[in-house]
Amino acid sequence: MDYQTRTRELCRCGLTALVLVFTASAPAQEPLSIQAPVSEGSRQAIEQIIHQYILQHPEVVRESVRLGEERERAEQKERTKAAVLAKLNDLQQDPSSPVVGKAGGVTVVEFFDYHCGYCKRTESAIRKLLADHPDVQFVFKEFPILGPESTLAAKAGLAAAKQGGYLKFHQALIDLSGPITMSAIEELAGKQGLDVNKLRTDMESAELQSILTRNRDLARDLGVKATPTFVIGSELVQGAMDAAAFERLIAQAQSRANPHAALNKPKE
């Protein structure tokens, strides 16, 4: 809600409050209902009082805006959490999504784009996470939103997954510094020992396009509009993260999944 809208809301609330005060202080022999209409003259006088008060105390409006924004963030967080829980199976159990790590513990899902600078920036933290936490399951959701090169790369990644060579090819492709072209993809695929002809054929398949469509639909249902976006346990987090942020969020997810573990953990 913007500043002007919040100000108008505050004025309406103040007007109602002052009407109640004036009504309560009316002579007993002239009972009034709080639902009774206020005369135009009284309304203008009350609005003038409120206007003067706001001019003299602008911090009241700022505080009202701050509280409104906090309430909206809290409500949005609850809506997002409910959406994640409703789509947990699609996030964690879709057999068409490449997966690394062991199921049964915390699952981290990443919506990413090979053309995204923030995704590239986060990649070193993800590799550290995979190395340090073999007990964490990491699910890759190809989510090309930055143009034709992104879509081309996403199809190549999924085609590499069909040959069982996803992770190394994915990492090589996300490390690519130049343009994402078909010749660059074929060169990387050859270096990774993939069947380049099969990769090229699979990239054009309706199956891979269907996977990308499902990923886009899932992202829409969760309100994901940017990359990278992570779902860690039931927490949705948008933006680049470092290794420390991953460690903190994984620990929180583990604690939520097993709330008694922290109580039973021996003191050092």
For residue 193, is it left (φ>0), alpha (ψ between -120 and 50) or beta?
A: left
User: CA-to-CA distance for 129 and 246, rounded, in angstroms?
Assistant: 7
| pLDDT in the model for residue 185 | 97
Query: What CATH class has 89-261?
Result: alpha beta
In angstroms, the Cα distances linking 117 to 92, 120, 212, 241 are 25, 5, 20, 12
Summarize pLDDT for 214-249 with one digit per residue, the tens.
999 999 999 999 999 999 988 899 999 999 999 999
Tokens of 146: 């930055």
C-alpha 255: how far from chain center: 21
Summarize pLDDT for 190-201 with one digit per residue, the tens.
999 999 999 999
- Every domain range in the chain assigned CATH 3.40.30.10: 89-261
pTM score, two decimals? Answer: 0.71
Q: What single letter denotes the amino acid at residue 212? A: L
**Over residues 37-66, mean pLDDT:** 78
